[in-house]
Structure 1
Amino acid sequence: MKLHIKNMVCNRCKMVVKAELEKLGLKPLLVELGEVTLAENISSEDKIKIAERLTDFGFELLADKKTQIAEQIKTAIIKLIHYTKEPLKINLSVYLSEQLKLEYTSLSSIFSEMENQTIEKYFIAQKIEKAKEMLTYGELTLSEIAYQLNYSSVAHLSAQFKKVTGITPSVYKTTSTDSRKTLDEV
């Protein structure tokens, strides 16, 4: 049985969810970002217990199919930007269609309805958060960051960065205030 869980955005989240499910006597076979596969089917009462337990940690058990799809899209984008080393070589729409096994038009429509923003805006917001992280660490040049995030040029990255944050990457790097968001806040 699969459970879809909102706000699972990192490896620590996976560990917390797994531990809490085990405390409830369940046997998770696989715990991934946004999704858990259990060894057995569970009752409605068990789902309520799981939902209550996960809520204490900022997670949400998703029952509605559209909400699940929107969350799967977000998870796929987070994995792509924050946990994949190689730049995206195919179009985002093709990537998402392949990952979720649905037509992109359907994915786009569901995402916009459920999240009140387009997939593209969410994708850009995640890329900018990753750029902020890379700028904060100061290990890469802006040119290297642009390449890693698959921007056509430094100018393109800078323009999007300023449009989203209101400041240039250079100004961001020199300011001492960290305006980064957690991945579930983007």
Structure 2
Amino acid sequence: MVKVKFMDSVFIKNMVCNRCIMVVKSELEKLHLDVNSVSLGRVDLNSPLEEGDKLKLKQALLPLGFEVIDDKRSRIIESIKNTIIDAVHHQDTEIKVNLSELLSRKLHLDYGYLSTLFSEIEGTTIEKYFIAQKIEKVKELLVYDELSLSEIAFKLNYSSVSYLSNQFKKVTGLTPSHFKEIKEEKRKPLDEI
């Protein structure tokens, strides 16, 4: 007989980068929770999280800017955001992805449902959120000044430099070259996009 290992998942809002993962892991260790894995917006535990431990976790994470998500719909929204953030900001390869397929496959839900839910809760579309994340990545790459605009367009799967430039100006009100001159003043933290 095969023994099935129990796993409990906790979803955490504003956990958008590798540093966030390290901070959350540290707090989990302090609470002596039996952690299986920690990824963007999600903690998988090897045993059920008792209510008392859940309250302690909430209290430990809140001052650090993180929030435990209890509501199912909010967990789905956070999963959508984290999947997009991961695809745009944490993958070293070019973004060659059909967003609807990626989200449906990763969340095991119909894209139509995800799209409607996201728009209803967030007041914007998944596509606009994806574009905002891509533009923030463009800003980051412009600040680093290691890639040409053409290389950035290719890396983020834009069909042309002019398409990237037009979208950048539409979102930021600036051309990429003007943004490059003023740099950091116009960047946003990922959890504020």
Q: What is the TM-score normalised by the length of structure 1?
A: 0.96
Q: Which residue is 1:164 aligned to?
A: 171
The number of residues matched between the two structures is 186
Partners of 1:20 and 1:113 in 2: CA distance: 33
Q: How big is the shift at 1:88?
A: 3.1
The 5 Å alignment of 1:66-81 reads: 66-81=73-88
> Cα–Cα, structure 1 residues 176 and 122, in superposed 2: closer, same or farther, change >3 Å?
closer
Q: Which residue is 1:149 aligned to?
A: 156
Task: Spell out structure 1 runs of 4+ moving beyond 6 A.
Answer: none
Any gaps of 5 or more consecutive residues in structure 1? Answer: none
3-state secondary structure, aligned to 2:64 = coil
> Cα–Cα, structure 1 residues 90 and 16, in superposed 2: closer, same or farther, change >3 Å?
closer
Matched, 1:24 2:31: yes
The 5 Å alignment of 1:66-105 reads: 66-105=73-112
3-state secondary structure, aligned to 1:139 = coil
3-state secondary structure, aligned to 1:84 = coil
Matched, 1:123 2:130: yes
- Structure 1 counterpart of 2:140, from 133, 136, 140: 133
3-state secondary structure, aligned to 1:144 = helix
Any gaps of 5 or more consecutive residues in structure 2? Answer: 1-7
The 5 Å alignment of 1:9-88 reads: 9-88=16-95
Task: Give % identity.
Answer: 55
Q: Which residue is 2:5 aligned to?
A: none
Q: How big is the shift at 1:177?
A: 5.0
Q: How big is the shift at 1:169?
A: 0.3
Q: How big is the shift at 1:156?
A: 0.5
Q: Structure 1 stretch 68-77 or stretch 19-28: which is displaced more?
A: 19-28
- Structure 2 counterpart of 1:185, from 165, 177, 192: 192
Partners of 2:74 and 2:177 in 1: CA distance: 37
Partners of 2:94 and 2:86 in 1: CA distance: 12
3-state secondary structure, aligned to 1:30 = strand
Partners of 2:95 and 2:104 in 1: CA distance: 14
Q: How big is the shift at 1:148?
A: 0.5
Partners of 2:97 and 2:140 in 1: CA distance: 24
